[in-house]
Amino acid sequence: MSAVLETEGLGKRYGSFWALRDCSLEIAAGSVTALVGPNGAGKTTLLHLAVGLSEPSAGEVRVLGASPQSDAADVLPRIGFVAQEHPLYRGFTVAETLRLGRDLNPSWNDDAARARIEALGLPLRKKVGALSGGQRAQVALTLALAKRPELLLLDEPVASLDPLARREFLQSVMEAVAETGMTVILSSHLIADLERVCDHLVILAGGRTQLAGPIDEIMGAHRLLTGPRSEAAEVARVHDVVRQSHTERQTTLLVRANGHVYDSRWELHELDLEEIVLAYLGRDAALEREAVAS
Amino acid sequence: MIWLSWRQQRTETLITAAIVVLLAALLIPEGLHLASLYHRDNIAHCLNNKTPACHQAIGDFGGHAGILRTLVPWFTLLPGLIGGALAAPILLDLESGTFRLAWTQSITRRRWITTRFSVAVATSLAAGALLAIIFTWYRAPLDKVYGSFDATSFDLEGTVSLGYVLFALGLALAIGVAWRRTAPAVVTAFLAYVASRLFVDGWLRQRFETPLSATWSVRERGPNLDRAWVLWSGMSDRAGHPFSGGFDVLDRCARAVGSGSKLVNPTCLARHGAGYSHAIWQPASRYWDFQGIETALFAGVGLVLLAFAAWWLRYRTA
Amino acid sequence: MIEFHLDPRSGVPTYLQVVQQVRQAVRLGILRPGDQLPTVKEVVAALAINPNTVLKAYRELDHEGLTEGRRGQGTFIATTAPVVPPDGIGPVRTALQRWLRQARAAGLDDDAIEALLAETVRTGSSARAA
């Protein structure tokens, strides 16, 4: 499988502040990747670099084998992007918005776009500003999908939507994936939304990649260990400890296991994805506090 | 992309059209009125016959400009408003973040900038040209009498409107793409437009070419200042130094010559340092030179500002 | 046609839930040999899950021999799948309902009933194995 998005040491700086740093990722074709992290973690920065909206301050980003900024004419027609808050021209009607798509995209499939709008029950003459949040999100998604992209990038697509609109939006995306096999990257600061639709995960915090990989593998490799406090160091020597907490005699470790955990003195528990993500975000926050304190 | 550019500036194009139509509505009736007066009073004949009757006729004719006389100086702000209005859609697109929608379709950033700017420039120039055409038509009778060189008509006739709108558009875009807040940027640009115009109108324009000057005694005819732009004229001494005294010198040097009129003694005036007339002016023949210089000046700066805005958008915006 | 439902809190991976539900449906006679499973697109539309997950589940079922894919037509329950005799379950279900009424009359709540059932199944299996 070839990589649809590759970054190497990618970084972006605003003044003296690095919004993204040392980011090296490979997103495989056909995968649905969740890009997760708190606000300000660098998710939007990464996505904007990937679609050529901004230029790297360090490192490289390649999309479909080309540079999104310098080869924009080649790359842009093959990728679909929905920015945060689904920007649309509020004064345009739905029909005019579709016309925008048709005018600006050579690979636009107008019939598919209209069919989709009709299936969603959206009136063509209605002004975009008069639509609900969920409907606007669907219009923005239609714009991105109708050009038949190979890669779809969505920046916090469901953040401002009610649960039903959220479900319908993700359903639309998954239907499109089933139909075309396209690659999807969606960012969110909530993992719960994305668990059922994504098969890969990238955790970003403080502008750095904390974890990246297939969700199956991640779930399989991470375990919660509870056991005697005295043995904590032993475990730490073999496995990566992501989070630890101690009582007087007992230690709880969240580890990424290197190999099997054999010791019978430790109780093993499986974890759900949200706990794993929180552990990594917590670790970054702790490191931040240490850095600030020192 | 062309459709999109027009669609996005639809409201502002309508506003611009409304301004032009409003101007036409004001000036066309007035212009027809002036033209008919011109013919009725045979002003054309009087331009070459300086009889006292003609003098009176011309004076009366000039007084018929009516209410527009007070409004006309304000018309020179219109290019500033139009340039600012047509920059607004582009700036709002940037401020609201919706530009990200257009920049991530399939066209390049360069094409977006080129097309949006071109449509705005084309609309501005069209509006500027229409304003100039309407105004020139309206002022034609007055121009025949007074020339086009004075401030109230130079600004609005000829080609300078084209330069003004380009300048105003360039200012608004250059300030707005860097500032990213449309309303203050457009207001600041308009104020900068006004300040620049005042500077050129009031100080720079008369210095485009060195003005002519002459001194002649009150007995002589003096140069032909018809339709010229007179920068200064008045009494002076022989060397041309302006006479600083008041008009009472005329009383002192005057002698009554029956039935109420007075004859002024030139030698007496000369003794008081006032026996001559002095004038500084730009001749009417230089009108098109000046139009060209001022148009090139404003259009040139406007194009530089537009280029700056385009460069900023292309390379500095995220 | 079977309708899938997802329990996001069960701790069981999504694809496995789909597999288990198909197995269960075959056991209970809801799905018979030759019945068609919903297409990937239909499942995705109903549940809003990753199509790869559905594909994984269907591959697993195919591997187990419970289903077979027919080119261009979809996924079907294999003709070699165990068939539950249509009369087989009925009497058992009735007996179970009678037993439940008995259990409730004896004062057992739902949790106690489930615990009793689980323990009996477990000891029963090991007794059978022994």
State pLDDT tens for residues B245-260: 677 777 777 776 666 6
Chain B: partners with 3+ C-beta pairs within 8 Å: A
Q: Can you tell me the mean pLDDT for B35-62? A: 79
**C-alpha–C-alpha distance, residues B67 and B29, integer Å:** 12
**Surface of A (73-112) touching B: CB under 8 A:** 73, 76-77, 79, 81, 83, 85, 87-89, 92, 96, 99-101, 103-107
Which of C14, C16, C50 should we substitute to test contact with A (largest number of A Cβ atoms within 10 Å)?
C50
> Do B50 and B139 lie in a common domain?
yes
Q: Identify whether residues B305 and B176 lie together within a single domain.
A: yes
What's the rounded Cα separation, in Å, for the pair A242 and A31? Answer: 26
Residues B62, B188 within the same domain: yes
Q: Are residues B105 and B171 in the same domain?
A: yes
Residue A106's closest CA among A73, A66, A153?
Answer: A73
How far is residue A88's CA from residue A83's CA, in Å, rounded to a whole number? Answer: 10
Angle between helices A110-119 and A133-145 (to 10 degrees): 160
Say yes or no to pLDDT of B143 above 90.
no
What's the DSSP call for residue B207? G
Residues B144 and B255 occupy one common structural domain? no
Residue among A196, A200, A270 with most chain C CBs within 10 A, to mutate? A196
The span from the CA of A52 to the CA of A54, in Å, is 5
Percent of chain B with pLDDT over 90: 49
| Residues A180-224 pLDDT 10s | 999 999 998 777 777 788 999 999 988 888 889 998 888 888 888
Confidence at residue A62, expressed as pLDDT on a 0 to 100 scale: 94
pLDDT at C87: 64
Q: How many domains does chain B have?
A: 2
Determine the Cα angle at B16 with ends B11 and B18, to 5°.
95
**Residue A174 to residue C51, Cβ atoms within 8 A:** yes
Q: What residues does A12 pair with on adjacent strands?
A: A20
Contact A200, A213 (CB under 8 A): yes
By the 8 A CB rule, do A151 and A79 touch?
Answer: yes
pLDDT band at C82 (very low <50, low <70, confident <90, very high): low
Distance of CA B118 to the CA centre of its chain: 25
pLDDT of residue A156: 92
Across A25-34, A247-256, B173-182, least confident range: A247-256
ipTM for the complex shown? 0.87
Q: Is residue B266 located within the same domain as residue B307?
A: no
Does the distance separating the beta carbons of A76 and B104 come in below 8 Å?
A: yes
Let me know whether B42 and B170 are in one domain. Answer: yes
Query: What is the rounded end-to-end Cα distance, in angstroms, of chain B?
Result: 21
Residue B31 shares a structural domain with residue B129: yes
CB of B235 closer than 8 Å to CB of B283: no
Q: What is the pTM of this model?
A: 0.84
Alpha helices, DSSP H, located in chain A: 43-50, 72-75, 94-104, 110-119, 133-145, 163-180, 215-221, 232-238, 273-293
Same domain, B206 and B223: no
Q: Choose the closest CB to B97 out of A51, A87, A140.
A: A87
pLDDT band at C86 (very low <50, low <70, confident <90, very high): low
**Containing structural domain, residue B86:** 2-210+288-315
| Residue appearing with tokens 């668990």 | A195
Residue B6 has pLDDT above 70, yes or no: yes
Tens of pLDDT, residue by residue over B67-87, are 677 777 788 899 999 999 999
Residues of B within 8 A of A48 (CB-CB) are 318
Q: Please check whether residue B114 is in contact with residue B195, taking contact to mean a CB–CB distance below 8 angstroms.
A: no
- Same domain for B42 and B155? yes
Contact A191, C43 (CB under 8 A): no
Residues B297 and B232 reside in one and the same domain: no
A85 pLDDT above the threshold of 70: yes
Measured between beta carbons, which residues in chain A are less than 8 angstroms from residue B4? 100, 103-104
Within this chain, do residues B155 and B23 fall inside the same structural domain, yes or no?
Answer: yes
Closest residue by Cα to residue B305 from B123, B117, B158, B151: B117
Task: Give the integer Cα–Cα distance in Å for A222 and A207.
Answer: 23
Ranges of H-type helices in chain B = 2-8, 10-40, 43-48, 52-62, 68-75, 78-96, 99-103, 109-146, 151-154, 160-179, 182-199, 248-252, 266-271, 287-316
CA distances from B225 to A134, B44, B145, B150, B228 (A): 73, 17, 12, 12, 5
CA angle A156, A161, A164 (to 5 degrees): 125
Q: What angle do CA A34, A35, A40 make, to 5 degrees?
A: 150
